[in-house]
């Protein structure tokens, strides 16, 4: 049920859409086209001024509606295959050019976090932000030792706005689960819960700083990715200080070409970074839109990525990681039978799903896209067709993979801008094959043995004595095997209860039958004394009925 506050928020959303003239765009869609004439009957349409371009209206509406809508616009901005160029270019402004809050307010937040004047922490602090996004904005500063840094400051009041819109999303998700045919399969409430955890984690800059440090350590010996160093003494819950980096924005393709950067190499290294994070480290940057990625041009032949903004990081369970790797590898090898079997084994589709039919459906979706450059395929369209196929087989959405799918779409969008001729499969397949070999091959076995050696060193000296004790007890007939299991204890309990119910049923039935017999004999047998037959009949009958009534009460 939509609460009054949420109803007001929905009204406000509609007012914002109307104010920016987006009612025209909504009514122009296929669904509402038959009633588009209603637009000309709306009073505000009669007095509307010359509107701004549609792309600017969409961007301004998303900015006004708040951080969740801005995040949605950021994702869309990387999908030039799904949007007209004018809208995609305008939405790029949401990556780092959201309207800033006053620099004086940023100064106040920083001083409150430190409990001291700003000048005690920095030699200089520029109140004009370098960049401003949906959750925070970044200011240039200089430490007292002369190092240049950036200071990230969380927007004031942002948590309240996020929680308000997330509560509305929960309500809409609940309505979808209840009234939408695919609601239970798509698990919208779980998806919203995953999103809520992700976006609220972004508000904790201590968590983000820890993520940055971990990612920096993972790529410390690599020339693929550079992560700036966190300055921990000045980092707080709502303020983070990091090394300032210098690079070309990854979206500035003309600037990269002017520096003679090898765009093909840059694209392939981006794919390698993604798979390294997901499979080698199981810790990946899940907000890789162009506003968060820069390129070092010191070595144009082997360009290095520079990453910022580590508020959204992802990881997978070992089981999901394994199944995902096997699925992708089978997909690259066009082994659609294996893909179908893995989906059933991992219970991503119901256990009774006919594997042969599922295999044929996957083949019809995937086969047309192989051996084609990135410019001729779209993972967005591929996922859409896979979702349509999944509906036929009651495939449930995996909320824990939503972040990964979002990141993959961002990577594809980046690759499409940088080097549309990129062969995604050729780049990714060798990496996955090597990872599977590392995970399941001889080296994996030797690594596991090496990790277990300390434990074996503790157990082996005691093993002969333990073996002697077991053999001695077996020879003497005193060896007992005790199997402790929750399931076994529960089974014993159910058997005991079943036996009790059986005894009650037999006793109750016997009493009822006895009472009936006494009633039948009453008045015909002279040996009966007084009103004993009536009393026996009443007591026996009632007692039997009580016992019979008790028998089915917990019968299953």
Active site residue 469: no
What does the H/E/C string look like for 70-123? HHHHHHHHCCCCCCCHHHHHHHHHHHCECCCCCHHHHHHHHHHHHCCCHHHCEE
What backbone torsions phi and psi does residue 277 show, to the nearest 5 degrees? Answer: -65, -45
CA 122 – CA 118 distance, rounded (Å): 6
Q: Identify the helix (H) or strand (E) that includes residue 153.
A: strand 148-154
**Strand, helix or coil at 305?**
strand
- Whether residue 314 contacts residue 277, with contact meaning beta carbons closer than 8 Å, is answered with no
| Cα separation, 78 vs 237, whole angstroms | 30
Closest listed residue to residue 410, CA positions, set 321, 317, 331, 307: 307
Instruction: Check 23, 165, 238, 287 and give the catalytic one.
Output: 287
Pairing of strands 131-132, 248-249: unpaired
Token reading at 384 = 């859409």
Identify the residue whose tokens are 């369209």.
381
DSSP 228: P
Rounded Cα gap, residues 101 and 128, in angstroms? 10
Q: Are 177 and 184 in contact (CB under 8 A)?
A: yes
CA dist 343 and 355 (Å) reads 9
Both structure tokens of 425: 């499969």
Query: What is the Cα–Cα distance from 353 to 431, expressed in whole angstroms?
Result: 31
The answer to whether residues 403 and 314 touch, using CB atoms and an 8 Å cutoff, is yes
Alpha carbon separation from 322 to 194, 319, 429 (Å, rounded): 21, 5, 15
Q: What is the dihedral of CA 452, 453, 457, 458, to 10 degrees?
A: -20
Residues 208 and 311: beta-carbon distance below 8 Å: yes
The pair of structure tokens assigned to 490 is 């529960």
DSSP string spanning 34-66?
Answer: GGGGGGGGSHHHHTPPPPPPHHHHHHHHHHHH-
| C-beta separation of 153 from 169 below 8 A | no
Reference 195, options 170, 175, 230; nearest CA is 170
Q: Which of the residues are catalytic?
A: 287
């Amino acid at each position: 049920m939509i609460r009054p506050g949420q109803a007001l928020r929905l009204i406000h959303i509609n007012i914002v859409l109307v104010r920016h003239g987006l009612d025209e765009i909504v009514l122009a869609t296929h669904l509402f086209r038959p009633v588009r004439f209603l637009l000309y009957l709306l009073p505000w349409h009669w007095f509307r001024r010359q509107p701004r371009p549609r792309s600017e209206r969409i961007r301004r509406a998303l900015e006004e509606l708040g951080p969740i809508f801005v995040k949605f616009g950021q994702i869309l901005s990387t999908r030039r295959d799904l949007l007209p160029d004018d809208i995609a270019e305008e939405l790029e402004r949401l990556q780092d050019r959201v309207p800033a809050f006053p620099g004086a307010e940023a100064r106040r937040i920083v001083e409150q976090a430190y409990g001291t004047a700003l000048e005690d922490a920095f030699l200089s602090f520029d109140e004009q932000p370098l960049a401003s996004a949906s959750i925070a904005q970044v200011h240039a500063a200089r430490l007292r030792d002369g190092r240049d840094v950036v200071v990230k400051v969380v927007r004031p009041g942002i948590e309240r706005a996020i929680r308000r819109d997330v509560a509305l999303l929960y309500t809409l998700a609940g309505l979808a689960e209840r009234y939408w045919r695919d609601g239970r399969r798509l698990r919208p409430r779980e998806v919203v819960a995953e999103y809520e955890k992700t976006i609220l984690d972004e508000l904790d800059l201590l968590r983000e700083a820890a993520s940055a440090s971990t990612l920096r350590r993972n790529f410390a010996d690599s020339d693929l990715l550079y992560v700036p160093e966190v300055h921990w003494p000045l980092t707080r819950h709502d303020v983070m200080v990091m090394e300032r980096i210098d690079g070309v924005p990854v979206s500035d393709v003309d600037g990269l070409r002017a520096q003679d950067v090898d765009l093909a190499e840059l694209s392939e290294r981006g794919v390698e970074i993604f798979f390294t994070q997901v499979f080698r480290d199981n810790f990946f940057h899940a907000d890789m839109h162009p506003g968060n990625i820069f390129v070092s041009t010191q070595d144009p032949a082997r360009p290095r990525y520079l990453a910022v903004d580590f508020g959204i990081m992802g990881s997978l369970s070992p089981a999901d990681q394994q199944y995902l790797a096997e699925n992708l590898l089978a997909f690259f090898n066009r082994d659609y039978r294996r893909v179908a079997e893995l989906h059933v084994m991992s219970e991503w589709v119901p256990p009774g799903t006919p594997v042969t039919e599922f295999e044929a459906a996957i083949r019809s979706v995937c086969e047309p896209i192989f051996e084609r450059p990135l410019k001729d395929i779209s993972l967005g369209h591929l996922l859409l067709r896979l979702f349509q196929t999944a509906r036929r087989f009651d495939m449930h959405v995996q909320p824990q993979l939503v972040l990964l799918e979002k990141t993959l779409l961002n990577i594809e969008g980046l690759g499409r801008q940088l080097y549309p001729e990129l062969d995604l499969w050729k780049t990714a397949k060798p990496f996955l094959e090597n990872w599977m070999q590392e995970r399941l091959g001889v080296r994996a076995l030797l690594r596991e043995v090496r990790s277990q050696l300390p434990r074996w060193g503790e157990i082996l000296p005691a093993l002969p004595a333990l073996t002697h004790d077991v053999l001695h007890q077996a020879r003497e007939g005193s060896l007992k095997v005790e199997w402790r299991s929750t399931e076994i204890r529960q089974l014993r309990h159910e058997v005991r209860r079943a036996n009790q119910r059986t005894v009650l049923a037999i006793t109750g039935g016997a009493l009822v039958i006895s009472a009936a017999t006494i009633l039948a004999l009453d008045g015909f047998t002279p040996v009966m004394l007084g009103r004993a037959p009536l009393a026996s009949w009443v007591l026996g009958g009632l007692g039997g009925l009580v016992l019979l009534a008790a028998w089915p009460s917990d019968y299953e």
